[in-house]
Amino acid sequence: MSTESIFQTHLVLGYVAWLICFGAYILPWLTSMDRVRAHRAIATLHSFRFFGLVFILPGVVGPNLPASFAAFAAFAAYGDLAAGLLAMLALVTIRIRPVFWPFVVAFNLAGMGDLVLDYYHAIQAGLPARAGDFGAVYAIPIIYVPLLMITHVFAFYLLLRPQPKATQALAGEVAVS
């Protein structure tokens, strides 16, 4: 089996495993709480995206990667950092709802955009065929990225679904007082 096939198999199975886990454990937990607490839980997970800076840490990835990896690595590292910092800002502003919600939207837009563009750049650079040279970083796209993408999708679902009338009325009363 080629390196690219193994990488693609790992990536697909990473999504499958996380979707099973998400459906069985995380989704029931998130749907049992109000929207603010659910977004806080998702933001907490994404606040660790500063870890993506490891893509540009010398010695962590193998030295045999093509020069195109440098462009991919910088974009991925700083995109993750931006998403992580926005998630942290959402967390520290949770008590200031008019500020919290824009940060929730921002970290989800930045984070999902980063992941989609990282996939695109990785394919353009031919990185799946060189996945064996990723070194310790190999675990990030296989284990961590699928969970990040799934939680972004769910966060957008929460943001876009209509609020129940009782919640809207309560939010209006809180805003007035």
Query: How far is the C-alpha of 143 from the C-alpha of 17, rounded, in Å?
Result: 9
Per DSSP, the three-state class of 49 is: helix
State the number of CA atoms in the 13 A half-sphere of 46 facing the CB.
Answer: 38
pLDDT band of 70, cuts 50, 70, 90: confident
Per the CB < 8 A criterion, the answer to whether 36 and 167 are in contact is no
DSSP letter (8 states) at residue 93: T
Instruction: Summarize pLDDT for 106-154 with one digit per residue, the tens.
Output: 999 999 999 999 999 999 988 898 888 888 889 999 999 999 999 999 9
Which of the two residues, 173 and 116, has the higher pLDDT score?
A: 116
Helical segments of 22-96, H only? 27-31, 35-46, 68-92
Alpha carbon distances (Å) from 156 to 50, 64, 121: 22, 38, 24
Instruction: Summarize pLDDT for 5-18 with one digit per residue, the tens.
Output: 999 999 999 999 99
Answer yes or no: pTM beyond 0.95.
Answer: no
Q: Which domain range does residue 63 map to?
A: 3-176
pLDDT band of 168, cuts 50, 70, 90: low
Helix and strand numbers (H, E) in the chain are: 8, 0
Q: Say how many C-beta atoms besides its own lie within 10 A of residue 36's C-beta.
A: 15
Instruction: Summarize pLDDT for 31-63 with one digit per residue, the tens.
Output: 999 999 999 999 999 999 999 999 988 878 877
pLDDT band of 176, cuts 50, 70, 90: very low
Per the CB < 8 A criterion, the answer to whether 78 and 64 are in contact is no
Per the CB < 8 A criterion, the answer to whether 45 and 147 are in contact is yes
Please tell me the predicted confidence (pLDDT) of residue 75.
93
Mean pLDDT of 79-104: 97
Number of domains into which the chain is organized: 1
Please tell me the predicted confidence (pLDDT) of residue 127.
87
Per the CB < 8 A criterion, the answer to whether 83 and 110 are in contact is yes
Structural Rg of the chain based on CA atoms: 18
Share of the chain above pLDDT 90, in %: 72
Please tell me the predicted confidence (pLDDT) of residue 64.
72
